Chain A
C-alpha cells in the first residue's frame, strides 16, 4: 500500500544533542510537510518542500532544519534540542501544492528530550 513512513516512532535524545527524524513516502507526491504537535495541541506547520523548493514558516525556530534529497525522503534536523522541543513530529504529503489538495500523514515520531 502507498503510504507515509516515519522512523523512528520514538526517539530519545539529550539536551543539546543533534537529532534527525526521517520521513519517506511511496505516494510519489510532490509536497512534503513537517508538523510539530505538542501535548493536547493541534499540529503546527514548521515547513514544507514543494519538490526541491523549501518553504519555511515565519515562526519556525532556526534550530529546526530540513533536507529533501529526493522525492521519496525528507529529514527533520534539530540542531540543539531543548526541553521545549519534546513533541510529536508529523510528516505529511500532498500530491501538489494547491490549496485544494488533501494531506496524508505518517504515524509520527515522538521525541523525548532528557
Chain B
C-alpha cells in the first residue's frame, strides 16, 4: 500500500516562531488532507489539498503532487497550535481508504 512519511516526528517551538511540516507519499494521490489533533483528541480538518497552495490565517499548505510531497506552514505559532499534525492521503489508483502518516507532534511553549 501507499506509504506516508511525516517529518519531523517531534517539534518544539517558542511562541511566535514559524515552522514547516513535511509529508512525503510513495504513490500518486488525488486526496490529501492535513489534520490537527488537539490535546483532547479532536481531529480538526485544516486543509483538503491534493495539489496547489491554500492559506487559512496563520496556516498555509502546499502540495506538489508530481513530486509526491506536501508542506504545512505555521507562522507566528501560538500555544494553542500544540498537538499532533497528521497528513492523510488516498491513492489515485484503486479503491483505498484514507491512509494517515504517523504525525508530527508540535509543542509551542510560551
Which residues in A have some Cβ–Cβ distance to B below 8 Å?
37, 41-45, 48, 57, 88, 90, 92, 99-105, 107-108, 110
| Cβ-neighbour of B43 out of A41, A44, A90, A100 (below 8 A) | A90
Report which residue of B92, B95, B97 has the largest number of chain A beta carbons within 10 angstroms of its beta carbon: B97
How close is B34's CB to chain A, nearest CB, in angstroms?
A: 11
| Cβ-neighbour of B101 out of A37, A42, A92 (below 8 A) | A42
Residues of B within 8 A of A101 (CB): 31
- CB–CB B41/A43 < 8 A: no
26 contacts between A and B (CB under 8 A): A41-B102, A42-B86, A42-B100, A42-B103, A43-B43, A43-B86, A44-B100, A88-B41, A90-B41, A99-B31, A99-B90, A99-B92, A100-B31, A102-B33, A102-B45, A102-B48, A103-B98, A105-B43, A105-B44, A107-B40, A107-B41, A107-B42, A108-B41, A108-B42, A108-B43, A110-B41
The total of chain B residues at the interface (CB under 8 A) is 23
- CB–CB B31/A105 < 8 A: no
How close is A52's CB to chain B, nearest CB, in angstroms?
A: 18
Q: Which of B16-49 contact A (CB under 8 A)?
A: 30-31, 33, 35, 40-45, 48
Q: Which 10 A-B pairs have the closest CB atoms?
A: A42-B100, A105-B43, A99-B90, A108-B41, A102-B48, A45-B97, A107-B42, A99-B31, A88-B41, A42-B102
7 more contacts with CB within 8 A, not counting A42-B101, A57-B97, are A42-B86, A42-B103, A99-B30, A99-B92, A101-B31, A102-B45, A105-B44
- CB–CB A105/B86 < 8 A: no
Residues of A within 8 A of B86 (CB): 42-43
Residues of A within 8 A of B96 (CB): 99
- CB–CB A48/B30 < 8 A: no
Please measure, in the bound complex, the distance between the C-alpha atom of A107 and the C-alpha atom of B44, giving whole angstroms.
Answer: 9
